[in-house]
Every structure is written in structure tokens, then in C-alpha cells.
Amino acid sequence: MKDSQQMVEDEVLVNDAIKIVEEGEKHNVVLRLLGALAIRIHSAGYEELHKKLDRLGVREKSFTDIDFMAYSKQRAKIRQFMEDVLNFQISRQFLLMHGKERLIYYHPKELYHIDVFFDKLRFNHDIYFGNDPKKGRLRLDFPTIPLSDLLLEKIQIHNITEKDIKDIIVLLRAHETSQVDEKESINCKYIAEILADDWGFWHDAKVNLGKVKTFAEDYCKIGLLMHEDLANMYEKVDKVIAFIDDEPKTRKWMKRAEKGTSKKWWESVETVVR
């Protein structure tokens, strides 16, 4: 990756990301934002908190690239849209090796790169969105994936980092919790149902939610969070945990729970060198 790709202002990435999603809709291409950039865009009114937490440790810089989720049934349309309409350059080498599940594109002026994931996130634990534009989860929200999936994306990380914890803090602070998919609410029931069928995912999620509370308290002590932010965080984390604990576990979950941490419970993720 060239140095120029590291220097793009956050506002450029935010504006470009939204424009790509909106332009995709005009071409009947479903793209939804993932990750920290999606959290920033979806957390209106809490942008300054996200900046204050300084997730990357670089002043006035929070993001380095743009990530999208898409449907594999639209792979050909997405390639035509990205390459012929937007003039982004595809990584041919990555296409040959991983093109079935993921594509990498570079800005025409090499300002940044874009990852396009198909149907599911395959990291330490999988998160599924479906492969059909008519039946999948991506149209439940705009321009990002649903809030519950944004939270799942972060709490699935086996070795979670502070930048991810800071993203979770902003996501929870900016939204309410509920039992259904709504534009500004995190569907705790959906999260609980996903984790009730996967002991490994459940285990890492519970550990990470505990870490969120611990780090949030530390951030409050040094002035990065206000006391009202901390209280709000505690309340919402506890609600999410309560839903997770109360959800009946499947036979699959219970069978895997018998082995506990004596057997590896997460998938290793190969770092992609760009």
C-alpha cells in the first residue's frame, strides 16, 4: 500500500463510502458498510466521542480503508459497477486466490483501498448475511449492515484490540437496545440467538463485553468518557449480556460447551498483505 493511501482524511472516506452505497442502489447493487467507518456513519451525534477516543492513536485520523458486505449472487454486477462505473482497480492476484469470497479494489488515484465481502464475514467467528438480495439481511439498514451485526462483528474478535473496544463503546452509546431490527436500535434478541448456537462465539463475545466495561471505566478515569457515558455503557452492556444469558442454548452449543477451552474455539485469520 502506498503512503498516499494512509493520508486520506476521514471525511473523504466517509463521504466516498456513502456515495458508493447510494450510487450502487441506482445500479441495483446492494453494498453495505462494515466496521469502524460504518459505526461512525451510523452514530450521528457521537462523532466527536469517536474522535476523542482516538481509536488509531493518530490525531484526527480514524480510518484507513472502506469495507463493504455484498451478495455473491450480485458478484458480476458488483464487478461491473466497481470497475466500469467507478473505475476502481481490482487486485488481480487477490481475485485469483480469494475472489469467490472477497474482492479488493484500489481507488483510481490510489487514495485508499476497498474490501468487498460476500455473504458472510469469515474471521475468528462467522457472521452470515445470506446470498440473495431478496432474502438477506443487508436491506434491513442503510448505508451500513444492521446494528446487531455491527456489534457481532466487533465482539467476535478473539484477540480484541483497544480500537475495537472503542468502536463498541461508541456503537452502544449512540444507540438503544431492543428485541427487533430497528434503524436506531441494537437487536439483542438476534445477537443472543446467534450466540446460543455457537459456544466459541458465545465465549469470546462474553469475554469481550466484559473487557468493554473494564476499558470504559479506565477511559472515564482519564477523562475520555464522562460519568454519564460510563453509566449508559454499563446499562447497555448489561442488557446485552442478560439477553445472551437468558437465551436457551441449542444442543450444538451444549455439546461444544462440554469441551470448553480445552479445545480451540476460534478460527485463525490470515492477515492479508496489501
The widest CA-to-CA distance across the chain, in whole angstroms, is 53
Q: Is residue 273 one of the residues assigned to a domain?
A: no
Q: Residue type for 17, please?
A: A
Write the CA distances from 91 to 67, 77, 196, integer angstroms.
Answer: 15, 17, 38
Indicate whether 269 belongs to any domain: no
65 in a structural domain: yes
How many independent structural domains does the chain possess?
A: 1
Query: How is residue 265 written as a grid cell?
Result: 474455539
Range of the domain at 62: 3-262
How far are the Cα atoms of 28, 194, 240 from residue 198, in angstroms, in the given order?
Answer: 34, 7, 16
**Does some domain include residue 240?**
yes
pLDDT values of the chain reduced to their tens digit, one per residue, 274 residues: 344 445 689 999 999 999 999 999 999 999 999 999 999 999 999 999 999 999 988 767 889 999 999 999 999 999 999 999 999 999 888 777 776 789 999 999 999 999 999 999 999 999 999 998 988 999 999 999 999 999 999 999 999 999 999 999 999 999 999 999 888 999 999 999 999 999 999 999 999 999 999 999 999 999 999 999 999 999 999 999 999 999 999 999 999 999 999 999 999 986 433 3
Measured in degrees and rounded to the nearest 5, phi and psi for residue 162 equal -65, -35
Task: Tell whether 131 is covered by a domain.
Answer: yes
Question: Is 270 part of a structural domain of the chain?
Answer: no
CA dist 31 and 227 (Å) reads 37
188 falls within a domain? yes
Residue 80 lies in a domain: yes
> What are the CA-CA distances from residue 224 to residues 43, 48, 154, 169, 227 (Å)?
17, 11, 20, 11, 10
